[in-house]
Amino acid sequence: MLSLTVASRVVERMVSFSVGVLLATALLHSLPEAFESGADPRALFGTLLAGLLGFFLLEKISLLRHSHHHEGDGHHHHHGHDREEAGRSGLTILVGDTFHNFADGIVIAAAFLADPHIGIVTALAIAAHEIPQEVGDFIVLLNAGFSKARAFAFNLLSSLAAILGGIVGYFLLDQLTAWIPYVLVIASSSFVYIAVSDLMPQMQRRPRLKESAVQVVLVAAGIAAIVFITNGVHEQHAHSHAKPAAAAAAN
């Protein structure tokens, strides 16, 4: 019982960290990359709007299905009802994470095709970026009612999308490169939607000053982790492009 209580407290704390990770990943990493790609900003904003509404409708359909099943039956909810309801957020985050991992695979494939050295560095940078995000996703799945084994299994399956993205990107890179910004935007819309519609309301249920202070610190820690990693990725990206420019100038 004590271990379950401790685990529950850790999950509550990590939800705040996950909010920082998800929002920072979407707003400071994925969306800037998408908009720096040269794609039409109006089309990207339209994709972001469609993604937010799409995930809302996905959750709404699940709610309607549940309401239809129970409406007017005069019975209390069955055991595990709350866990099933919370599971919707877990499935949504898996969809978004799968899109994000698929896009990462395409990016890694493009880097390796450009230069194996750049490909290795890019893969390491993305792996470093994924560590806090995957930890956050794992905590979100636990909080959504998944068992540790299921959360790990689904997270692993979602991560395999990076391999699929790498394979597809390697063979069809010319056709798929233009899709990368839109895939990143769809992934970002899922992260923002989950953080704002599901996780933040959970945090608001604990309004005490001490708990609120801890939440703010953990959200800031999640943001700081992504900022640190993103800055490293951008510096490496700038450095890799500076070398060819310097060589061309010397010639």
Asked if residue 10 is part of any domain, the answer here is no
72 pLDDT tier (thresholds 50, 70, 90) = very low
Share above pLDDT 90 across residues of the chain, in percent, rounded to a whole number: 9
Asked if residue 211 is part of any domain, the answer here is yes
| Number of folded domains that form the chain | 1
pLDDT given at position 46? 97
Q: Residue 202 burial by CB count (10 A; 0-12/13-18/19+): exposed, middle or buried?
A: middle
Asked if residue 126 is part of any domain, the answer here is yes
CB neighbour list of residue 175: distance below 8 Å, 6 or more residues apart: none
* Range ranked top by mean pLDDT from 30-39, 199-208, 228-237: 30-39
Asked if residue 73 is part of any domain, the answer here is no
Residues in the chain: 251
* Range ranked top by mean pLDDT from 21-25, 147-151, 163-167: 163-167
Q: How many CB atoms lie within 10 A of CB 146?
A: 22
Asked if residue 130 is part of any domain, the answer here is yes
pLDDT given at position 69? 46
pLDDT given at position 6? 53
- Whether residue 81 has pLDDT greater than 60: no
Asked if residue 74 is part of any domain, the answer here is no
Per residue in 107-155, pLDDT (tens digit) is 888 778 767 776 776 676 677 567 666 777 777 787 777 888 888 888 8
Asked if residue 187 is part of any domain, the answer here is yes
- Whether residue 99 has pLDDT greater than 70: yes
Mean pLDDT of 224-247: 63
Asked if residue 11 is part of any domain, the answer here is no
- Whether residue 33 has pLDDT greater than 70: yes
Mean pLDDT of 184-189: 86
Selected residue with higher pLDDT from 149 and 64: 149
191 pLDDT tier (thresholds 50, 70, 90) = confident
233 pLDDT tier (thresholds 50, 70, 90) = low
DSSP per-residue codes, the chain: -HHHHHHHHHHHHHHHHHHHHHHHIIIIIIHHHHHTTT--HHHHHHHHHHHHHHHHHHHHHHHHHHHHHHTT---PPPTTHHHHHHHHHHHHHHHHHHHHHHHHHHHHHHHHHH-HHHHHHHHHHHHHHHHHHHHHHHHHHHHTT--HHHHHHHHHHHHHHHHHHHHHHHHHHHHHGGGHHHHHHHHHHHHHHHIIIIIHHHHHT---HHHHHHHHHHHHHHHHHHHHHHHHHHHHHHHHHHHHHHHHHH-
- Over its C-alpha atoms, the chain yields an Rg (Å, rounded) of 20
* Closest alpha carbon to 183 in 57, 19, 33, 58: 33
Query: Which residue range(s) make up the domain with 138?
Result: 17-65+82-250
- Whether residue 93 has pLDDT greater than 90: no
- Whether residue 85 has pLDDT greater than 60: no
